[in-house]
A = this chain, B = another copy of it.
C-alpha cells in the first residue's frame, strides 16, 4: 500500500522548501548563512565587513530581505558578487523571510560561481525563528545599545544561533550593557555558541569573526 504523504500547514511546507534550498547550496558547495537581528543592530554593516574581511578569494552572494525598500541592497551591490533583494511586503509572512522567498532568490544567483551566500533576514527577533530558509548556520547579531536583556526577552533566536555577534562595541563606554549578564543569559540557552564582540564602525573585533567563518568555509 502506498504511503500517503501529508504536508501539514505552512511550517511543514516551509521545511520541505528549506531542505531543497539546502540541497541547492550543497550541490554548489556553497555555505549559506541566515543573518538575523533586531532593526538597526547592523546586519548590513556586518555583511559589508564580512565581505571585506574575507577578501577577493571568496565569492559572496547576498540575499537582502526587507519589508520594503532596496536601501540595504544598494549598500552591498558594489562589493558582493551578486545581490538579490526580497521585499516581503504584502505577503502573509511579511515579518520574516520564508524558504519560498529564498528559493525564488536562488534562481537569480549564480550559485555555481559562489562560495558563500549571506541571507540578511528582515529586522525582527521573533518571526525569523519560525522559518528555516535552508541555511547551514544561523547568525544572530545583538548590539550593545539594545541592552543586555535581549536573550531573556527573545530566547528562541539566541537558543538557535550558531554564532552571536555583539555589534557596536564602540558604544560600550556610553551605554548600560553588562557583558557578563548577557553572556550568562545566552549560555543558559545555548551552552557552546561562540561570541564575537565587534564594531563595524571601527573594525575592532571583525577579524575574529572572519577567521571563524573562514574555518567554516574550509570545512564545508
Contacts and interface: CB of A to CB of B under 8 A. Distances in A.
A144 B127 CA distance: 24
Contact of A153 (B67, B152, B156, B170): B67
B38 A123 contact: yes
Contact of A145 (B68, B145, B150, B156): B145
Contacts of A71: 149, 152-153
A194 B153 CA distance: 30
B123 A154 contact: yes
B153 A95 contact: no
A152 B95 contact: no
A46 interface: no
A19 interface: no
A168 B145 contact: yes
A28 interface: no
Interface string A33-51: 0000011100000000000
How many copies make up the complex?
2
Contacts of A95: 95, 124, 126-127
Contacts of A171: 145, 171, 174-175
A94 B38 CA distance: 16
A53 interface: no
Interface string A178-207: 000000000000000000000001000000
A146 B94 contact: no
A99 interface: no
Given A67-B155, A123-B153, 19 more contacts: A38-B38, A38-B40, A39-B125, A39-B153, A39-B154, A40-B143, A40-B145, A40-B150, A68-B155, A69-B153, A94-B126, A95-B95, A123-B125, A143-B145, A145-B145, A170-B174, A171-B171, A171-B175, A176-B201
Top 8 A-B pairs ranked by shortest CB distance?
Answer: A40-B146, A145-B145, A38-B39, A95-B126, A69-B152, A38-B38, A40-B147, A95-B127
